[in-house]
Amino acid sequence: MDLFLRRWGESAHTSLGFFWMALWAFALGYIISSLIQVLVTQKRMKAAMGDTGPKSIALGTFFGFISSSCSFAALSTTRALFQKGAGLVPSLAFMLSSTNLVIELGIVIAIFLSWQFVVGEYLGGLLLIFLAWGYVRLTRPDRLVKSVRERFDREHEDTGGEKTDWKEKALSLNGWQQIGMQYVMEWQMVWKDVLIGFTVAGIIAAFVPDAFFEALFTGSGSGASGELGFPSLLAQTLVGPLAAFLTFIGSMGNIPLAALLFDRGVSFAGVMAFIFSDLVVLPVLRINAEYYGWKMALYIMSLLLTCLVAAALLMHYGFLMFGLLPENSPGTSISERAFFEFNYGFFLNILFMAVSAVLVWLWRGRKKNMDHDHHHGDSKTGLSEKILRVISILALAWLSCGMIVYLVYPG
């Protein structure tokens, strides 16, 4: 019983620790998304990123590079870009870039893994964007894109905001109240998925033994990854997304688990596929379905799965060709990581919590002046939404009680 209680406390502590690590990134991503949706007109977005060409894709990649590394925030901003008229491929380029090419992600990978994985992350991220471009050109989802844009037109009718200059909005109280309202609505759409995702991640980190992951990957621990035959290598690369689905934390938080997999003998391709798979898990699928509808969400899922497996295999054989495949070596256990420290993340969290408080205050001011609020997700009362709310309540109870247990049974 004591062992269960200790692991319960550890799981709650880990879940909250992961969220604390990513909090500033969530806030930054949703602030960027809110600014884009309120200040950037459809005409400007179409002019900058409306065509699927090298320039638009390069812009999407660059904007992703300078944005947040949080998967959920990337989804929100990608939706905002696409809604404002950006092309599908430039929008996907932004999403892939913001979850694979950001500087902080490379730093975390360097800490837990090696320089080869850092290079693999950045080169692989660019390769993912190129492969996604090719996938869209081959499949030509024009009708699907048209239906999604019609969906946006129905859900977000133009109220004359396009006639207002963005500078006027940025300098007016009403404009910032709109930004505050959009910011709150972003959180309303995803808070349940975020809560459940991080709770499950903590439970898996505390309760699931390492042997489980070893059993998932055929051929792991049987020798150097460069000696694996193609069938075993392909199997590990295909299992990478499955392992990410079972251990979803996010593009930043899953790096320690990736190091654990590599320590247990999983190939370079299998680990890279795992790292790339932060966008092909159930919470992300559900959020994309909320944004675009299920047909587009499943199309994006199939695109990402196909491209990430191909990219991981190409990176593996490319590194093998030049003799650059990393050697397996003992890594750092996820349970040994200190989450709550006085570092840059702590101060960024304080800063963005203060900014969030101001935006919530602005939202409340606008809410009082409106006859009714329009919420994207919480207005739904379907069965799946009710089930998700019940699971969210259970997750809150698990975390609350677990932290009490953690204080009683620390470490």
HEC readout, 36-81: HHHHCCHHHHHHHHCCCCHHHHHHHHHHHHCCCCCHHHHHHHHHHH
What domain count does the chain have? Answer: 1
Judge whether 337 lies within some domain. Answer: yes
Average pLDDT over residues 244-261: 68
Asked if 67 contacts 32 with a C-beta cutoff of 8 angstroms, the reply is yes
The tens digit of pLDDT for each residue in 52-109 reads: 788 889 888 887 876 655 677 788 888 888 887 888 999 999 999 988 887 767 777 8
Q: Which amino acid is at 167?
A: K
Judge whether 171 lies within some domain. Answer: yes
Judge whether 157 lies within some domain. Answer: no
Worst-scoring range by mean pLDDT, 52-61, 198-207, 282-291?
198-207
d(CA 180, CA 186): 10
The two tokens of residue 118 are 């850092």
Worst-scoring range by mean pLDDT, 185-199, 219-233, 311-325?
219-233
Judge whether 159 lies within some domain. Answer: no
pLDDT band at 124 (very low <50, low <70, confident <90, very high): very high
Asked if 280 contacts 236 with a C-beta cutoff of 8 angstroms, the reply is no
Specify the pTM. Answer: 0.69
d(CA 170, CA 38): 9
| Helix pair 294-321, 268-276: axis angle to 10 deg | 150
171-188: buried (b, 16+ CB within 10 Å) or exposed (e) per residue?
eeeebbbbbbbbbbbbbe
Following CA atoms 84, 89, 92, 96 in sequence, which dihedral angle do they give, to the nearest 10 degrees? -140
Residues of the domain holding 287: 2-152+166-408
Tell me what pLDDT residue 134 has: 95
pLDDT band at 255 (very low <50, low <70, confident <90, very high): confident
Judge whether 161 lies within some domain. Answer: no
Judge whether 158 lies within some domain. Answer: no
d(CA 38, CA 159): 12
